[in-house]
Chains A and B, each alone.
Chain A
């Protein structure tokens, strides 16, 4: 393009803009700002509900009564396995299966040293249990009163979808009943017979496992998970299952 041709072209500076076009531009700017502002206001209003997003439920927000749950004071566990043995005896768990077990974590302390932490695991009696959602025959369901995830063995067809759905490997197929078996917080073996706690809790010599009603603010489980300066976590929170077994570091 030659310099003479450039001179022939229309000027692109602001003088060429009609006031109509200026107005349109301003309106668009206002609309965009308004949209963002509105969005921000909306997002602020929802903060109130988002407060409960942590693993510990907000006070008073327990769907069940009694809302049974367990707190595991992980650092106290010495892997004596008395909880496992008590569970096996109480609930007739066969040798090839388990309802609860103890896993071993290893953490580096630097300088070639390590510490070992024992992590008891069991059914988390989730508020949104994936196993219950997938069961085609409602052979496993959440007890409406207590929130315990229970089995109805004669209804189980043995498709094992609950076993693939459970994020905690808490289920196994029990040959004797031809049904999937799992921890029921000793509902059938103890709680329904008037006992107030599970076999594993009773057997633990180190007071690792604490069982109780989370909806009762005088219970130990309530006080432990709501205690100040306490780290409370659950296993695999990313699955959205909302578990009721809480782990604390004190």
Chain B
């Protein structure tokens, strides 16, 4: 039964032949090992308690694993958005990247779930607790539930695409897109609806999350498509190049919007020195996180990739790859800073307290780093495997 199902959706011929088994096996072995190391670090932390292995604290309860989770689900939602441009909304230029984007949106969200499973102290209590204790006012509840539905829709869409049932695939693609956007804006609201956290509070977070998801999706699909072709020694046809150009241009537009958003976030954080928000913003602009912000977020994540894409008008694949590589790193910094800096201003700030820190600190521990590496390796493993199994995710003309 299971085998029948697989033979139905796995392409037996056509498409692109993956690289030789030797190279493939070596890469899979390395990625598999790294995944196991990450899982090992995660299980060890669950066993002995996060307090002994993670850098998080009472004051900064969310660490790098939350940032990595946000990174993965932002990328997943973005890939879903990018895939829907062609598949759901019928813009033909985007069709060649759609299948890979759908597959990767599944791979990234699964990697995100792997990371969050080790961040949550008792993830095994979730399946039952989420049902019998369902709390409709909780954004975390909506986010988790909707992302569950999202994964389901994306899986069905992918299977339907493999079976060439395009009408059904489009319907599920649209369902996936809508639940993805709802889930993702709820993730933004997890931060944005906390009245006591001035840096996060407000409508900015959900709006920013969706826009930066669209940007991340463009960056990620360029990044992965280029690597897939390089790794397997394939040659891009003109349709694919055209698709990459279109995606790059959409990505450039999203970067411009994110730059605009970030400017106003900065200005509102500084003008009139709003209590709580100002201290956090200063940490980013001139404080301990200024290298992350200016170097990571602004240069790598926004300015550099935008200029590169504009300089070659989206037409030089090597330059696009460099832009996407810088973008991926920059986007990770964006997630990290957003999660950590939002918690650094302590609860009783501005009350003239003695022996009370003006700013809290957080440093990710070895275990946290290993779990993140494991998540990235697992995502990469699924990606490399997918390229081989689904023969380069080629779309037939129809």
* Mask of B250-293 contacts with A, CB within 8 angstroms, 1/0: 00000000000000000000000000000000000000000000
Q: Does B51 interact with chain A (Cβ within 8 Å)? A: yes
**Pairs A–B under 8 Å by Cβ, sample size 17:** A106-B354, A134-B137, A134-B138, A134-B194, A135-B140, A154-B125, A157-B125, A158-B122, A159-B120, A167-B196, A169-B58, A169-B346, A169-B347, A178-B122, A179-B122, A239-B195, A240-B195
Let me know if B295 is at the binding interface, CB within 8 A: no
Residues of B contacting A161 with CB < 8 Å?
Answer: 138, 140, 190
> What separation, in Å, do the CA atoms of A135 and B140 have in the docked complex?
7
Choose one: A105, A155, A167; the contact of B195 (CB below 8 Å): A167
* Contact bitstring B340-353, A, C-beta under 8 A = 1, else 0: 00010011100111
Asked if B355 and A104 make an inter-chain contact with CB atoms under 8 angstroms apart, the answer reads: yes
Complex: how many Å from CA A227 to CA B284? 46
A150 at the binding interface (Cβ < 8 Å): no
Q: Say whether A86 faces chain B, with CB atoms less than 8 Å apart.
A: no
Tell me whether A104 and B347 are in contact (CB under 8 A).
Answer: no
Residues of A within 8 A of B51 (CB): 96, 173, 175
Cα separation A222 to B356 with both chains bound (whole Å): 32
Residue of B nearest to A133 (CB): B137
> B129 near A139 (CB under 8 angstroms)?
yes
A168 to B196, CA, bound (A): 9
Which positions 126-151 of chain A face chain B at CB distance < 8 Å?
A: 130, 133-139
Encode A235-246 as 1/0 by CB contact (under 8 A) with B: 110111100000
Instruction: Return A238 CB to nearest CB of chain B, in Å.
Output: 8
CB of B129 within 8 A of CB of A175, answer no
B348 touches A169 (CB 8 A): yes
CB within 8 A of B129: which of A103, A137, A178? A137
| In the complex, A97 has a CB within 8 A of chain B | yes
Q: CB distance A136 to B61 under 8 Å?
A: no
Q: Majority SS of interface residues in chain B? A: loop
Question: A55 to B392, alpha carbons, bound, how many Å?
Answer: 64
CB distance from A222 to the nearest CB of B (A): 27
A-B pairs, 4 with minimum CB distance: A158-B121, A167-B196, A137-B129, A137-B133
Q: Is A236 within 8 A of B196, CB to CB?
A: yes
A residues 33-74 in Cβ contact with B at 8 Å: none
The size of the chain A interface, using a CB distance under 8 A, is 45
Residues on B with C-beta less than 8 A from A160 are 56, 61-62, 121
Q: B121 touches which one: A138, A157, A171 (CB < 8 A)?
A: A157
Are the CB atoms of A163 and B120 closer together than 8 Å? Answer: no
For the complex formed, measure the closest distance between the CB of A55 and the CB atoms of chain B, giving whole angstroms. 16
**Closest approach, in angstroms, between the C-beta of A87 and any C-beta of chain B?**
16
Report B's interface with A, CB cutoff 8 A.
49-51, 56, 58-59, 61-62, 120-123, 125-126, 129-130, 132-135, 137-141, 144, 190, 193-197, 343, 346-348, 351-356
Q: Would A159 and B140 be within 8 Å (CB), given that A107-B352, A137-B135, A166-B196 are in contact? A: yes
Establish whether residues B196 and A173, one from each chain, have CB atoms under 8 Å apart when the complex forms.
no
Indicate whether A210 reaches chain B with its CB closer than 8 angstroms: no
A173 to B346, CA, bound (A): 17
User: Quick one: which of B61, B346, B347 has the most chain A CB within 10 A?
Assistant: B61
Q: A96-B51, A155-B129 are in contact. Are A135 and B138 (CB under 8 A)?
A: yes
Minimum distance in angstroms from A213 CB to a CB of chain B: 27
List residues of chain B with CB within 8 A of the CB of A134.
Answer: 137-140, 190, 193-194
A96 neighbours in B (Cβ, 8 Å): 51
Q: How far is the CB of A179 from chain B (nearest CB, A)?
A: 8
Query: In the complex, which of the residues B49, B190, B347 has the most CB atoms of chain A within 10 Å of its own CB atom?
Result: B347
**Interface members, chain A 163-188 (any B CB < 8 Å):** 163-169, 171-173, 175, 178-179
A-B contact sample (20 more), CB < 8 A, given A137-B129, A164-B61: A103-B356, A104-B356, A107-B352, A136-B141, A138-B133, A155-B129, A156-B121, A157-B125, A159-B120, A160-B121, A161-B138, A163-B58, A164-B62, A167-B196, A169-B59, A169-B346, A173-B50, A235-B348, A239-B195, A241-B196
Smallest Cβ distance from A153 to chain B, in angstroms? Answer: 10
**Cβ of A203 under 8 Å from chain B:** no
Interface positions, chain A 98-132, Cβ under 8 Å from B, are: 103-107, 116, 119, 121, 130
Q: Nearest chain A CB to B277's CB is how many angstroms away?
A: 12
Instruction: Using CB atoms, name the residue of chain A closest to B342.
Output: A164
B122 touches A138 (CB 8 A): no
Q: Are A116 and B195 in contact (CB under 8 A)?
A: no
> Which residue of B50, B197, B352, B353 is within 8 Å of A164 (Cβ)?
B197
For the complex formed, measure the closest distance between the CB of B290 and the CB atoms of chain A, giving whole angstroms. 23
Shortest distance from the beta carbon of A131 to any chain B beta carbon, whole Å: 10
Contact (Cβ within 8 A) B356 A178: no
Chain A residue with the shortest CB-CB distance to B201: A239
- Establish whether residues A239 and B61, one from each chain, have CB atoms under 8 Å apart when the complex forms: no
Question: Which residues does chain B contribute within 8 Å of A121, judged by CB atoms?
Answer: 348
Complex interface: chain B residues within 8 A of A241 (CB): 195-196
B residues less than 8 Å from A165 (CB atoms): 194, 196-197
B61 touches A175 (CB 8 A): no
- B-side contacts of A156, CB under 8 Å: 121-122, 125
Contacting residue for B347 out of A168, A172, A173, CB 8 A = A168
* B112 CB, min distance to chain A CBs, angstroms: 14
Q: Are B126 and A103 interface neighbours, CB within 8 A?
A: no
CB of B185, distance to nearest CB on chain A (Å) = 16
In the complex the two chains form, is B125's CB within 8 Å of A155's CB?
yes
Known: A106-B354, A178-B122, A239-B195. A136 touches B347 (CB 8 A): no
B130 — which chain A residues lie within 8 A by C-beta?
A: 136-137
- Asked if A136 and B138 sit within 8 Å, CB to CB, the answer is yes
* Bound-state Cα–Cα, A187 to B133, Å: 22
Instruction: Using CB atoms, name the residue of chain A closest to B190.
Output: A161
